[in-house]
Amino acid sequence: MAATITTDILIIGAGPVGLYGAYCAGFRGLRTVVVDALPQCGGQITALYPEKEIRDIAAVPGSRGREVVAALKEQADAFGPRYLLGKQAVGLAHAPGGRPRVTLSDGAVIDAGAVVLTAGIGTFTPRTFPAGEEFLGRGLSYFVPDPAEYEDRDVLVVGGGDSAVDWTLALHPIARSVTLVHRRSAFRAHAASVREVHGCGAEIVLNAQVEALVGDDRLREAHLRVDGEADVQVRKADAVVAALGFVSNLGPLLDWGLALDRRAIVVDTRMRTTVDRVYAAGDVTAYPGKVRLMSVGFGEAATAVNNAAVVLDPALSLFPGHSTEST
């Protein structure tokens, strides 16, 4: 028989915003369960760019993704939240009295006073690389969990967004060579990062596409087709990082009766969704003037948790007090 777990706050999504939400709940003395479909905390940061330098958090001039996640988890762990990782939240019902009951993919049921959705972009899968999908695992990759694996290799990075530029900058000091290939003349990445990549010494090939990957048991070379050139350029490459973006999906959350704006969940100023006792924070939310930054998500998590706390116990103050007052 599937287990039933009772808690005050259920946080769905163990990324940075979810971890900070767990801290906020713990600070208020609320029992907290954190659920995530991924097998580890950190969300997109851990899965996609653990070595990326993150610079948009107040008072943190720059810190690697894995370090940010580790610090957030340490902060949350001070209050002992329960983590249920590698499990997806699939069903939502409300018990008599209005308490949400969330069913997980393994059949367990979480009976919560309130739910806070911090699911980011939901589940995400990489856009495929049709020019050489057969080399996946043999030189082609969509993620770079460990940059050290690219030491002394000839790397081709494909894409024009932040991930492509960030990986070029991260791998250039490590690899034998790094070439950045983009199908357009202008990048979508942050302007400061684009300036940095132009000055780092990596080769940049614009208005070009990878026509084919060639090799045997391992990838050996890439064939590039540059706009306006008759001949194909052949580049030595034993590693290709295809940073072409991701397709996201809110999955079962789409069936929870939540009001949506495109692929995001509509919330009000208290971070309430249109479903009773279900709140949301971070990139998963939509409201007028929304800015999708991690720093904004932290504030939204605090808003959601503290408003939920008052619903659970109307005698509580919405303002939680300052952490300095508890020492």
Q: Residue 49 annotated as binding? A: yes
Question: Do the Cβ atoms of 246 and 121 come closer than 8 Å?
Answer: yes
Q: Residue 124 annotated as binding? A: yes
Q: Residue 209 annotated as binding? A: no
Q: Residue 154 annotated as binding? A: no
Residue 39 contacts by C-beta under 8 Å, 6 or more apart in sequence?
85, 86
**Other Cβ atoms within 10 Å of 324 Cβ, number:** 6
Q: Residue 44 annotated as binding? A: yes
CA pair distance 300, 113, nearest whole angstrom: 19
Q: Encoding tokens for residue 204?
A: 């940049």
Q: Residue 324 annotated as binding? A: yes
Enumerate the H helices of the chain as residue ranges.
16-27, 43-48, 65-77, 162-171, 191-199, 294-312
249 pairs with which residues across the strands?
123
Q: Encoding tokens for residue 5?
A: 């777990």
Q: Phi/psi of residue 239, each to 5°?
A: -150, 135
CA pair distance 122, 233, nearest whole angstrom: 38
61 DSSP assignment: S
Q: Residue 36 annotated as binding? A: yes
End-to-end Cα, the chain, rounded Å: 43
CA pair distance 237, 302, nearest whole angstrom: 47
Residue stretches of the annotated binding site for FAD: 36, 44, 49, 89, 124, 283, 324
Residue stretches of the annotated binding site: 36, 44, 49, 89, 124, 283, 324
